[in-house]
A and B are shown apart, each in its own frame.
Chain A
């Protein structure tokens, strides 16, 4: 395959999450890698010049957890790398399935599969973690559910630690969460919905922190949503434990009030929480306790969502909105630009050993050009990709990807507004 045309971004605002800087400059891409950052003197033959003053150039997004490899949604969301959850059909518990999953995105998206922690994701027997890693899995994950059995779970953590693999955990106690579709409290009671207490999350976080310490395992919580759980992670990190955690925009921007009118688009897993928990999520993102902002992209069909709330499938197809919702967090003053791109690019890349998230010479040219001032109204029925289900339907939003570059090649260009 011939190398793509060189690209010269001229006079853009460079957002470097590693150096934590925002500055106006140039960036030159040659041979699939970043060649020059700052001042470009003399461009190679055949270069495409992108003059975009006032526009941000940043590392392309690394989405640390999607349930479907949805190329169209990722392109619009500025996502060049997506970690694919093992909850596929069948689950990613076989090397051949991991190899196949890795090829799903070519050539537009790097799909990095997460190995099923247990066979069939049933929480009973260890999956072939070494073979799955050799086949391309970048970490081990429990998927949509926690492993209920502490003995099995300790063995997974020990075994993964021996292989040097990060273990990605779902933090919801299976027994407490069983049947619950909302968080216990005022809203769930008003709507008459089966609910689980918010402490179902902290309970698993406390257990997992302790067992990971026992096993010497590197632990990552895929998505935290409660103040109590975030505080447990904050304390563990302060004590030096190898633990990270992510969240998704819904928990930073919405709370349980979004369930009003039985809107099944707001049926998520974990369920939406209180306003107090939402504030703790924002604080966690700002102070680094939460180092990843992930879409948890989970497209659902109309048939799966147009049901009574408790019967509807959980999940939101927010991949295409990840960048815009991140921009909202910056505009609202919760995050700086470099901090946002730490959460959506550098943080996940560093944790899972991926060569992404950097804006420096020699790094792979995975880049996103962002118009931070573009304003629009989110319309679920016009979402690109496989799903129309988003709890953000009707919300005013800002920011969009103008261009997505993966491995030096332009894989997406925004059309005219």
Chain B
């Protein structure tokens, strides 16, 4: 891919499979060979505007930007005017006035990143908006799967846990179905979004059935405030019914790949013995692929500006 055919990367929705594959191929090159010697983003300014607290995604974008030679500025909620009553659009206009070359945005409201993107003069990358999308996470998950399994087409991928509140799940449904995987959506009924079949995924409300024969089991984080009686009765009941334990994992394919977007709740959605199993767990590799994918996105989105 010479240049990204869109101005922004706001979501996986609407991306044709060949564009997704192009992004993955470039990320693969970065993962294999590291950043190019000429530092393609030298002299460009990357602003990471994180309205919602995040550590790993912010650091991942920061490292990706720096490896490409960009000047990186982080604006994080709590340290800036992002939380001082200024409206979102005023913040967008302020950011725009600083003439950044690319802005990475995370926000707790679905649609907020798209709203800001419409008001600024440079490319925007969605680093997670509410429950809506988290495209770079889905891309790094896909890259991880492709490296370990050699393909995505035809794989049985079970995405398990709090699907209702998860932007990671939504972006993954879109990406993995676009690339031809058989995707299963596994969640207790209280955490299963309505109309999920519309993504072309197969819903399961029992973990044991959902992961049976799966080539990939992706486990999502259960937020603490949703554990105690609101959506599930307790953490121990959740672990008993949905926790990914070594025993339960035996139902999956023998060479199953275990993934988690982090941060993990050990003993809630995943057992330590599974998370730390270096044969089957790709959790550390996901983090490494995150940097490569974000380098690819920043590189592609700024190509037209670099001439």
Contacts and interface: CB of A to CB of B under 8 A. Distances in A.
Given A192-B170, A193-B131, A303-B87, A311 B194 contact: no
Interface string B135-154: 00000000000000000000
Interface stretch (B108-116, B213-221, B288-296): B108-116
Contact of B198 (A186, A192, A262, A303): A186
Interface in A290-330: 303, 306-311
B195 A309 contact: no
A262 B110 contact: yes
Interface string A176-203: 0000000011111111111101000000
Interface residues of B, number: 23
Interface residue range, chain A: 20 to 34
B109 A308 contact: yes
Interface in B106-133: 107, 109-112, 114-115, 129-133
B114 A261 contact: yes
Nearest to B118: A261
Contacts, number: 69
Contacts of B130: 192-193, 308, 310
B196 interface: yes
B166 to A, nearest CB: 9
Contacts of A194: 131
Contact of A311 (B13, B109, B131, B132): B109
B115 A308 contact: yes
B213 to A, nearest CB: 26
Could you say which of A193, A262, A306 has the most chain B C-beta atoms within 10 Å of its C-beta? A262
A192 B135 CA distance: 14
Given A192-B132, A192-B167, A303-B87, A309 B111 contact: yes
A306 B89 contact: yes
A415 B259 CA distance: 66
B109 A310 contact: yes
Nearest to A261: B114
Contacts of B133: 192
B189 interface: no
Given A262-B115, A309-B110, A189 B195 contact: yes
30 contacts: A184-B194, A184-B195, A185-B195, A186-B198, A187-B195, A188-B194, A188-B195, A189-B170, A189-B194, A189-B195, A190-B198, A191-B111, A192-B132, A192-B167, A193-B110, A193-B131, A195-B194, A261-B114, A262-B111, A262-B114, A303-B87, A306-B89, A307-B88, A308-B109, A308-B111, A308-B129, A308-B130, A309-B110, A309-B111, A310-B111
Interface of A: 184-195, 197, 261-262, 303, 306-311
